[in-house]
A and B are shown apart, each in its own frame.
Chain A
């Protein structure tokens, strides 16, 4: 990835503290919020070229490039779209990615120390909403001297943030690219979310969320939740192509209850590697952030908000995504249009299921994002 953004580092900023606590949409407050973030490219003189990447459930601030000493083959999670000449072109744009509120990758979340008790919050961390995630992003931008965004871009939960951002602050954002997302989870989505949550909370090591000072954490539950999630991220076709019914490390089945098929081994690997970098409580909170997300609940209000600004929307879906199918995207596009917003919509044919937003193929996907950002940039006179 020598042609990407190169070596980067995750920085931290305290964005709420002291006499300026974070007041959440629910009315609850957090006395202190620290944010982990990365930036790529340079902010231009008139500060008009900022593009914010909103990450998905399991993402973090490290969207692109390599940390010192990293395996060059394992750059940030969205490296293929960020860098010189890539759709989020760091020769033109100042790209920012921050770990979300409630996260576990450097930004204040349930694993952070509650200043009131000196212990990790655990489940005493307040329930947060997509709206709160956006407010923390905005507070970070204020620290960075960015008053308006050229665009917010995100897939899945990231797309939800871009959407909420554009609805809540229509005059601060020229464009929102909402990819493989939903404005309202279906009963099936919520059902999967519920099973993942149960897997964590029923783990005997969960300890009501206060496992941080214990010897054992709810790793089994979290790994199981991730395995369930991962099934919904892939398509039947991509699983068939990747694994088929092949047997792991053998020619013939072993006939037993241990891992035998390749797909089982893959899911186990996904589950195990996830627990090494992710916090079970954050998984619970982010699941709920998505379950309760319903930005079009008050249509009249959305209409008033949209009419205050001139945000252009790009809504993308992937035909093999059955977690947030094209139907979700169509509903979102239709709601936005109904509120008077200019919306461009494309369903892209891709075999990778929900995870398609992380892939660079098929080429029309990145091409569409690039065209959308380029148009916004030219409107702002960004060369």
Chain B
């Protein structure tokens, strides 16, 4: 499993009913179900990934997460997961609000657009940054709502969500320690949050 999903799985914990929005090939859910005693459901739009979930035995609904979310009942899940997907949805604020409705806890990971390397590319070269964490060109990127750690935490506050834990990771998904903890918005490439309602 990708290292960043390990971090997500740690924050999800054990024995929960988990909804994984944009679950990809189902690796996270498989780990949560097999290793951590969770039950789960994925939502995935791409056919290949949907089929990969079936091959893993991970229950999944094929569809667009923004269309599927409103179909769930309030409190259907303990934890709703959105990993590296928030920046690709059309209305991040609505997605977070819906996640809050269907689950009592949210685990969200996102790329930090204020990382110094991105800032430097923009400031010095005057070009939209292309990095390991954000490998797309501006014209073909699915990431239409990039934000910074500060932006995200401000939105979280506005939506009445509480930050329970925050783990900072680099582009490969490894936890970063030391300096980044003091200036996360400048030094962390990604962040993973556990948010309470």
Contacts and interface: CB of A to CB of B under 8 A. Distances in A.
Nearest to B60: A344
B62 interface: yes
Interface in B11-45: 39, 41
A139 B61 CA distance: 34
Given A367-B51, A371-B51, A333 B61 contact: yes
A344 B71 contact: no
A337 interface: yes
A276 B81 CA distance: 56
Interface in A348-371: 364, 367-368, 371
A342 B59 CA distance: 6
A333 to B, nearest CB: 7
| Range class of the B interface residue count | 10 to 19
A330 interface: yes
A371 B47 CA distance: 12
B54 A368 contact: yes
Contacts, number: 43
A342 B39 contact: yes
A344 B61 contact: yes
Contact of A344 (B39, B54, B76): B54
Contacts of B59: 312, 337, 342-344
Contacts of A367: 51
Nearest to A343: B59
Among A343, A345, A371: residue with most chain B CB under 10 A: A345
Interface string B44-59: 0001001101111101
Given A330-B71, A340-B39, A367-B51, A345 B61 contact: yes
B77 to A, nearest CB: 10
Contacts of A372: 54
B63 interface: yes
A375 interface: yes
A203 interface: no
A364 B57 contact: no
Contact of B57 (A333, A334, A347, A379): A379
Given A330-B71, A375-B54, A364 B61 contact: no
A333 B61 CA distance: 9
Contacts of B50: 346, 368
B51 A374 contact: no
B54 A345 contact: no
Nearest to B52: A371
Contact of B62 (A343, A347, A374, A379): A347
A368 B51 contact: yes
Nearest to A364: B47
Contacts of B54: 314, 344, 368, 371-372, 375
A344 B57 CA distance: 9
Contacts of B61: 333, 344-346
Interface string A290-333: 00000000000000000000001010000000000000001001
B46 to A, nearest CB: 11
Contact of A375 (B41, B47, B55, B71): B55
Nearest to B41: A337
A337 B47 CA distance: 22
A345 B54 CA distance: 10
A371 B55 CA distance: 6
Among B56, B59, B62: residue with most chain A CB under 10 A: B59
A131 to B, nearest CB: 25
Contacts of A347: 62-63
A375 B57 contact: yes
A345 B42 CA distance: 10
Interface of A: 312, 314, 330, 333-334, 337, 340, 342-347, 364, 367-368, 371-372, 374-375, 379
6 contacts: A333-B61, A337-B59, A340-B39, A342-B57, A342-B59, A368-B51
Given A312-B59, A337-B41, A346-B61, 17 more contacts: A312-B57, A330-B71, A333-B61, A337-B59, A342-B39, A342-B57, A342-B59, A344-B54, A344-B59, A347-B62, A347-B63, A368-B50, A368-B51, A371-B51, A372-B54, A374-B55, A379-B57
